[in-house]
Structure 1
Amino acid sequence: MTPAAFAGPGAGAAIESFAGETMGTGWSLQAVSPPAAALHGVQAALDLVVEQMSQWEPDSDLSRFNRAMPGTWREVPAEFAHVVDVALDIARASGGAFDPGLGRIIEAWGFGSTGRTGKAPAAGKSALDRTIDFDPATRRIRRGEAAALDLSGIAKGYAVDLAAAWLLDIGVRHFLLEVGGELRGEGIRPDGQPWWVDVEMPPTSSIPPWRIALHDLSVATSGNYRRGFSVGGRHYSHSFDPATGRPIVNMVSSVTVLHRDCIRADGWATALTVLGAEAALKLADEQELAACIVAGDREYLSRAWRDMMD
């Protein structure tokens, strides 16, 4: 890359703002001197992710895969294959804390395409075969008998990356892109400042939010307070422990991860939320992840996070 690619936008450049809807949430873009096609190009990238990976769209590639016979290999588009590859990589590195094969369990609890059930399912036997296999050479995937693919813990992050890649390809070097709370900042603002964002903290926590400079960096937060339901005085989170097939009960209320790629920030935030504070901190250090874990009014910061804040 030439040195000119890293030049600032100049004090006279203007920031333009765009917004839209995707994946049941909103997206926003602040970009320095973007072309007129920026709005439509970003929306097209996000629409492609929905078309391929949404469990709410019956004709998506993911939905068709989940309806296919277990054990049947199916070829998927390149973007879909990339997300599955990263999801399985995080699954392996996290010891199964991230599990893209949890779709059936998530549906049974009312957090999928069928909607709320209004009650907690009865405890059952743990699914024996939630395996998702992937052959990168042929871009084919298959599922075990008890598996259904669910990429909701990582697809938003990838959507940010895909739209960001399109912007960079057309020469937009300086922007802040957000999809449903997952963000990626590229370059700098016209005043020479990076893109500053505040890390979302759980509403029950008294810990002040971190202010993060996103300069060629992404941030994602997984919070078990965002979605859930209560039955009989007990709250059930939308974050699931693959080991039990039930919502987590480990006191972690949120995890924020900083990473160059938003897909990995998103997926790792999901995985670390499942593990519990101490185990999540240990794994974040092993993986050299910049992570902030909140449990109650206590904050756990990984070494990489502390190094970035210095």
Structure 2
Amino acid sequence: MSKELSVSVVLGTYNGETYLREQLDSIFAQTVFPQEIIAIDDGSSDGTVAILHEYAARTPRMKVVVNAQNLGFIRNFEKGCTLATGRWIALCDQDDYWMPEKIEKMVEAIGDHEMVYCDSILCDENLQPLGNRISDLVHYQSFDDPRQLCVFSRMYGHATLITNRLFQRSQPFLKEVPHDGWLAYHATLYGGVLYLAEVLVKYRQHAGNVFGVVGRKKKPDPRERSERKKRELERIRIRMQAYCDACPDQLVPQKKLLRALVRSYRNFAPGNDLRRMILFFANYKRLLVVKNYSTPRKWLFCLKMLVKIK
């Protein structure tokens, strides 16, 4: 760690004692040392806070903040980012492992972009590779159009580096939208998202993941499906409206599509269902760009918009 860069690592923790030491070791082993490490704990009841203080005793550049009450992972990361003073912010989960050159390579790559993200290799709970990268499961590329990320986003916080300026522009976070997707969307409005096609993170999969491997879903209880669908529709309405509001008026084609999507998600009246399907067919190359689907499968997805909400 012979060099230092103006990077604030924001580490969100909550009852993460099982894997936390390995993550902290990987941060301390970076080829460049961050300007600061902000560890913000969301009210852990295990040994997480003690571990954080143990590592903070090694360097004055690591700060530990413990919330008086649980904020949830989105608000926890938002609070951590408000404390960041570096030019760039590297979001960090408590259970992964960073390759030694992660910070250095991402700072070298970001250039004039507001966000850069790298690839990750999926690992089991012991950090043994499972045989897939995230880029094998979704379509990774650079993004410069909000229409590309308004429906689906596969930007994962552990693999991103953002400018502090982007965070300021993206406040406040919404509880209905994961913070990494919210930041990535805003990045397309202000300089774009750059993809660094290199594996720089071991992405650990285990029972306690807030978000696990791409595509892994729990099947809902049939009795809960109706209520779950209502909640999901409400989240989509809020997200679409927020995305539309954030999009500058001078981005005329983008704003036009976002407004149309907002209207199509008002309810499940047949006219809105048909409108939503037509919008997806007309814009599938952008709206479904992150989906690692063949063209016929994307068309099938658009057809399902008659009866689905996403």
User: Could you tell me the TM-score, scaled by structure 1's length?
Assistant: 0.30
User: Could you tell me the TM-score, scaled by structure 2's length?
Assistant: 0.30
Structure with greater proportional strand content: 1
Structure with greater proportional helix content: 2
